[in-house]
A and B are shown apart, each in its own frame.
Chain A
């Protein structure tokens, strides 16, 4: 199949149209050779008889209707894989960027992956200790989960992600290999550098695979970046039996690239101009996490997305949260109060935590403590709303206690150092200390037996200082 086609019929944004191609296959990769000898990669996205529409990953700048020769490769986009990819840096389309040369592949894998059969999945139950109180106690991360961080531009999501990676790694059991797959989509150069230097500091760089599509890289390539990263992750997890943490940042740029591509293809837009298949497309990425039979590894995903204008109902966070198993929401107000990590606990959620905590995983009282903390935080926000109308002095005695609880919760529970690694016992005990600020009858989510064991108003005295 080394037939080459000279010239093009049409160029439109990242798309080119080629005519009289008899044997193209859908989603096949093509190579476009320019007159000056450079090669660009493309993918067939639509076939109409002998007319094919090709999406060019590196963009169509400099391409004219006459100066190209196009060759069909006969197969969909594949990523070369071997254990050597650990410690390497690739561009968004999976080509080496670090000057260390091509890798010698053990196998090639289609980057689109295949859906995991639900009967072959194993329901994720093992919790990952991140050492961060707000996450461990209230939105526990489970191995095999997809738990995104919903952030805004300018918040500390990158620091948080680095801290999770570093501390989760320490907490890994002996003998279990751990690695990180990092995919950057449309992030600035210094953000990518930040991650790289932090991985280096923690001595983890040899255990990291990086796929970088920076903000000045071609936009269409961005559509491939997470797919390459997840293909690498699946290979390492399910064939090399490693525990993989995948960081995808920033999903908002990815979705915007998809929108750009969709509109140049002339598709009918859905909400906010995003294509109607945004949900299916995001799902085809996020669903590539989990634990399967006959493999001891796992893929855990932490996608990071910046909510445009802090709007959680924007299609990108909205559709993401419908697919992922919970979300960690960061809040600008907390950040401005100097609280790190600025996790807004009420809208945050981990759907898988209920089966991964308690006796045998964390501690028997974990579920009760976390439920009670959530309920109390909801009361705190009611009390604050009321206080803003009638003034704090006018509040009832119980509401005043809630105000006190809210302050202590933010100051001692949420706030922690960027290197502070808290054990789950410490976190849960701290939770109890805070709950003891409140009168016992307010703690309706905890059964009497646990209250008898743990409730003691003296525990709250440490916050009085």
Chain B
């Protein structure tokens, strides 16, 4: 007989009185509808539970059932190209159950139990398996080969193996005898608690960039595979747009996209767009390498808090198979607000701006789950975290932005004035930074050009010089500057419009390979050097500008297709021609 009943209800928080049956962070079922909840506070009088669904209609006295296990997700084939809510319930199946609007107390299996996977067993009886080692593989989508791994908490000897062939997710494909003699049936799936990082063999130093095809990121402020990045920006500055671009084009094997407390239409857009787009590297549809977690802003707030952990646990699971996974969290501020909301209901003592005092430790725990590692199954894998931050009132000194800044190594600040000019991506080149540049020195030398970092630095210098010149221009106008400084302003304009600004809707410009990025930089610097010579010889820059050569270089991003790098030579010739014509 279950004697645990609801005592009080306040929004998503309910309490049970006088019980010792629950453990901290245990998953529970609340009320007759069996709403999913999690224990978040225990004292000798009350056990406090946060409920992941709408609590309207709940009554005191309704039963609460313990499950004995912490809040967990199911890991197995069928996750990729699916869309889940914050506690890993498949939204497409929910639609079948309750129609266009999401109901409460829905209990459906996470993974499609009727789908057959073509399983190949990779072990034989007598093999000894450590936790995390692979015992079977099956193709999950055209882009992902799923590898079934022994749960990291288990180890033992394989005593029976089924023949290769089609199996369901819950079919037994092998049996394992663990050290204490119990026999465990191994299926294609396993469970893992979302708040525990999955164990790894070893962390590796960061050394490879995550190539995104976005010039301002790859060239100016690169992100590492296994690294962390924060994108703070006020509303309308293009956080979501930047996240979408990265999800589309970055060279990770798998993308986990978490829509955390954001707009429903945005998730629909991702669903629609990604099914039409093709991964430039594999030629497969983008949905075949994408997992979506959608907890829109009007879905229950407690599930929003969980969605971040659900996402990162899924990412770690695929990392353990040896994949490079990138996770986009849009937006971590909504997650922090969910923490604040729950904390307020618990009447905890608030710290800065009402956020709980544990905000920074939660953020650091989250970002520390990124990394480039050797997983237990061998090989290499990585989890890269890209978190959007929505600062209140566009004020970057607020707690979420400031705490995020402490835990990420790459910071892309989105700028309102750039967004007003419709300069996208609106990443401000003066306030953004990446600490990874030096880690990639070897990579650039080997794969792009030994000159890469030097060119990048020169571009950065021109932009810095422009910024300080603009201070003067704002006061007295551009006409009084000497010609060499006017040139800096002209070339900086070429860099801003022709290089940093990138058109996500242009077929070629939406994704630019590193080779072309390098060539574009070289061309701009070539233009700068040549015209500097010209200006230093005492001729006016206005004549040079009148030839339209600067505009021609700005348009290079559209005029030279990504697969025709040889065309850059024509532009160099055009620059030479323009200048020598003037000198004659």
Contacts and interface: CB of A to CB of B under 8 A. Distances in A.
Interface of A: 22-28, 46-50, 75-76, 110, 112-124, 144, 238, 267-271, 275-277, 279-280, 283-284, 286-288, 290, 292-295, 313-315, 318-319, 321-323, 325-327, 346-347, 349, 351-352, 354-355, 367, 371, 374-375, 378-379, 385-386, 389-390, 394-396, 399, 441, 444-445, 447-448
Contact of A24 (B59, B235, B497, B505): B59
Nearest to A367: B505
A115 B474 contact: no
Nearest to B60: A47
Contacts of B9: 26, 46-47
B422 interface: yes
A294 B96 CA distance: 13
B482 to A, nearest CB: 15
Given A117-B98, A117-B102, 11 more contacts: A22-B61, A24-B60, A26-B59, A117-B95, A119-B95, A119-B268, A121-B264, A287-B296, A322-B390, A371-B422, A444-B497
Interface residues of B, number: 77
A50 B8 CA distance: 9
Interface in B474-507: 474-479, 497, 505
20 contacts: A26-B55, A27-B55, A47-B59, A47-B60, A116-B298, A118-B91, A118-B271, A119-B95, A120-B100, A121-B264, A123-B268, A267-B344, A268-B344, A318-B392, A323-B297, A354-B505, A374-B421, A375-B422, A379-B421, A399-B477
Interface in B376-402: 390, 392-395
A292 B54 CA distance: 22
Which 7 A-B pairs have CB atoms at the shortest separation, nearest pair first?
Answer: A283-B297, A313-B393, A114-B101, A287-B298, A120-B100, A118-B267, A378-B421
A49 B7 contact: yes
Given A121-B265, A123-B268, A375-B422, A47 B298 contact: no
Interface stretch (B151-159, B213-221, B308-316, B333-341): B333-341
A117 B7 contact: no
Contacts of A375: 421-423
B40 interface: no
Nearest to A24: B59
Contacts of A121: 264-265, 267-268
Contacts of A114: 54, 101-103
Given A120-B95, A374-B420, A288 B298 contact: yes
Nearest to B298: A287
B10 interface: yes
Contacts of A318: 235, 392-394
Contacts of B294: 118
A270 B551 CA distance: 50
A313 B390 contact: no
Contacts of B479: 394, 396
Contacts of B98: 117
Nearest to B474: A386
Interface in B543-561: 548, 551, 554-555, 558
B56 A112 contact: yes
Given A114-B102, A118-B268, A26 B263 contact: no
B296 A118 contact: yes
Nearest to B57: A25
Given A269-B354, A313-B393, A23 B94 contact: no
A47 B8 CA distance: 5
Nearest to A46: B10
A313 B395 contact: yes
Nearest to A448: B555
Contacts of B475: 389-390
A27 B56 contact: yes
Nearest to B354: A270
A327 B422 CA distance: 15
B463 interface: no
Given A120-B95, A123-B265, A269-B354, A50 B60 contact: yes
Contacts of B57: 25-28, 75-76
B280 interface: no
B60 A444 contact: no
B278 interface: no
Contacts of A284: 297-298
A283 B259 CA distance: 14
Contact of A447 (B91, B100, B261, B558): B558
Given A118-B267, A321-B236, A374-B422, A294 B100 contact: yes
Interface string B238-278: 00000000000000000000010101110111011000000
Contacts of A23: 59, 61
A286 to B, nearest CB: 8
A49 to B, nearest CB: 5
Contacts of A267: 344
A344 to B, nearest CB: 10
Contacts of B189: none
Interface string B33-62: 000000000000000000000111111110
A116 B101 contact: yes
B268 A280 contact: no
Nearest to A397: B479
Contact of B100 (A27, A293, A351, A379): A293
B350 A280 contact: no
A450 B11 CA distance: 56
A4 B551 CA distance: 80
B274 to A, nearest CB: 12
B92 interface: yes
B347 interface: yes
Contacts of B395: 313
A326 B58 contact: no
A291 B167 CA distance: 39
B188 interface: no
Contact of A277 (B17, B60, B100, B341): B341
Contacts of A441: 548, 551
Nearest to A349: B236
B353 interface: yes
A271 B91 CA distance: 34
Contacts of A385: 474
Contacts of B505: 354, 367
Nearest to B294: A118
Interface string B283-297: 000000000001011
Contacts of A269: 354
Nearest to A283: B297
B299 interface: yes
Interface string B408-430: 00000000010011110000000
Contacts of B265: 121, 123-124, 144, 290, 325, 352
B422 A49 contact: no
Nearest to A445: B422
B237 to A, nearest CB: 10
Contacts of A279: 261, 297, 334, 337
Contacts of B337: 276, 279-280
B477 A386 contact: yes
Nearest to B333: A322
Contacts of A390: 475-477
B344 to A, nearest CB: 5
A112 B350 CA distance: 29
A271 B55 contact: no
A103 B308 CA distance: 46
B301 interface: yes
B99 interface: yes
Contacts of A315: 392-393
A46 B8 contact: yes
A318 B337 CA distance: 14
A54 B460 CA distance: 61
B83 interface: yes
B92 to A, nearest CB: 5
B424 to A, nearest CB: 10
A114 B228 CA distance: 35
A123 B268 CA distance: 6
